[in-house]
Amino acid sequence: MSARRLAGVAVAALLLGACAPIPRPAVLDELDHVRAGAAAAESKRYAPGAFARAEKLRGEALAAFQGEDRSGAQILGEQAIAAHAYAQALARVARAEAAETEAKAQRSAGEASLAGLEAEQSRVAAEVDALDMRTKVARDAQPVVPSGKADADREKARLTAARSLALQARLLCGAARLLIAPAPPDSAQPAGPSPAGAQPAGPSPAGAQPGSAELAAQLEGATAAIKKLDAELAEAGGSARSIQAPIDQASRARAGCLAALTGARRAATPVTRAPGAGDALLTELSAAGTWSPVRDDRGIVVTLRGLFAGNALTKTGEARLRDLALVAAAHPSFPVAVVVHTDRDISAKEEPAWTARADAVVRALGPAQGAGNPGSPSIAPFLAGSAAPVVDPRGSERARNARVEIVFVTPETL
């Protein structure tokens, strides 16, 4: 081939190369791949501002490439990829924050639902307890089938049981009296003597608050039944011949006092919420680990022994009573009954000494009472005698029958 022909071929090749398009930078392909991924869609949703900046850089890179500025397209494409990576990082943070917010909202909704369920459970439980109490009161109020006369030993046992029921009736009526007509803080009186024990201090129901006349009348009727029962017990116990024990009358008297106490509680129970004050106090005393409280028809009961040296409180007894005084002050809606039990029958001559013990406990429990503390709880003493032993009164442990019950009278339905 001649030199002239070779020169022509070279010139043609140069011309063809000058007309060929500029190769597309690989970074733009990578940018398209990044932009088409799921992460880009997420960044568009959660970080729209950062995504828009990355798209702007991408548009500038494409414009540079179309303007045959390959270097500019390369730089702008790399910046666009970095901007997309930044937008994706912001999107992950925003998504995490959104998930956290949603989780908190779900937790709050769950807590609210749980609180509602717990409140409903408390309400239902309270209704069940109240229904149980009403059933018990109704059962106790059923007409008693006459017991009929029995042999001498059985009548003696019935007489003992009747005295115990009479004491229970007196204590239940005393608790009702504290709820219906609470004694003013400065009107506490010594527990007086009684042929069957347990005499409460405080005013009669005639001073009950307005609107409680029906409750006061019910309590007066129950108290009259106890007085009649006292006469029958005195006759049965003092007669040389065998007289039928008034066990049926004692059962009715107890049922009447329990009905009066239940009526007072129902009148005081809020209808807008489930009652549970007694449960809360029982839990509080149990958590202390030193009181061993129990619940009975009257309320929450703490039993104390060894409070006295002679007729005076011991230092340990005073300290324990001060602790209970703090509990009473923290729960002023609970009247307090101080019930003193003896380990043997006491004579009329001994009653003043036991009454003085009851008064000493009342004073130790109520140091905050007075005109300047109208919100302090009512406290009343009761002398129960030996009618409610907890161990065999003739056994070696009969001294355990001498005890003091601190009764926090539950003000609402149980």
pLDDT > 70: percent of the chain:
79
Q: Any bridge partners for residue 308, and if so which?
A: 313
Among 130-134, 229-233, 349-353, the range scoring the smallest mean pLDDT is 130-134
pLDDT of 372 reads: 45
Instruction: Indicate whether 91 pLDDT > 80.
Output: yes
Q: Which is nearest to 223 in space by CA: 244, 202, 238?
A: 202
pLDDT of 360 reads: 95
pLDDT of 306 reads: 93
* Distance separating alpha carbons of residues 178 and 278, to the nearest angstrom: 16
Q: What is the mean pLDDT of residues 306-324?
A: 94
pLDDT of 277 reads: 84
Residues sharing a CB contact under 8 Å with residue 316, sequence separation 6 or more, in sequence order: 306
Average pLDDT over all residues of the chain: 82
Instruction: Indicate whether 12 pLDDT > 60.
Output: no
Q: Which of 12-16, 66-70, 361-365 has the highest mean pLDDT?
A: 361-365
pLDDT tens readout for residues 274-298: 567 888 999 999 999 999 999 999 9
Q: What is the mean pLDDT of residues 92-121?
A: 88
pLDDT of 210 reads: 39
Own/partner pairs for 346-354, CB < 8 Å, 24+ apart? 346/385, 346/386, 348/193, 351/193, 351/383, 353/311, 354/383
pLDDT band at 44 (very low <50, low <70, confident <90, very high): confident
* Distance separating alpha carbons of residues 129 and 44, to the nearest angstrom: 60
pLDDT of 300 reads: 96
Q: What is the mean pLDDT of residues 304-308?
A: 95
pLDDT of 172 reads: 96
Higher-pLDDT residue of 316, 367: 316
pLDDT of 129 reads: 72
Higher-pLDDT residue of 175, 4: 175
pLDDT tens readout for residues 184-198: 443 333 344 343 345
Instruction: Indicate whether 126 pLDDT > 70.
Output: yes
Instruction: Indicate whether 379 pLDDT > 60.
Output: yes
Q: For residue 244, with 0-12 CB atoms within 10 Å meaning exposed, 13-18 middle and 19 or more buried, which class applies?
A: middle
pLDDT of 141 reads: 61
pLDDT > 90: percent of the chain:
42
Tokens of 123: 């309400």
pLDDT of 208 reads: 42
Higher-pLDDT residue of 239, 281: 281
Q: Which is nearest to 227 in space by CA: 205, 202, 246?
A: 246
* Distance separating alpha carbons of residues 265 and 270, to the nearest angstrom: 10
pLDDT tens readout for residues 22-43: 788 888 888 788 888 888 888 8
pLDDT of 195 reads: 38
Instruction: Indicate whether 14 pLDDT > 80.
Output: no
Among 151-155, 239-243, 376-380, 406-410, the range scoring the smallest mean pLDDT is 239-243
Instruction: Indicate whether 231 pLDDT > 80.
Output: yes
Domain ranges of the chain: 141-271+278-409
Give Cα 295 to chain centroid, integer Å: 15
Q: What is the mean pLDDT of residues 267-273?
A: 72
Domain spanning 141-271+278-409: CATH 3.30.1330.60: yes
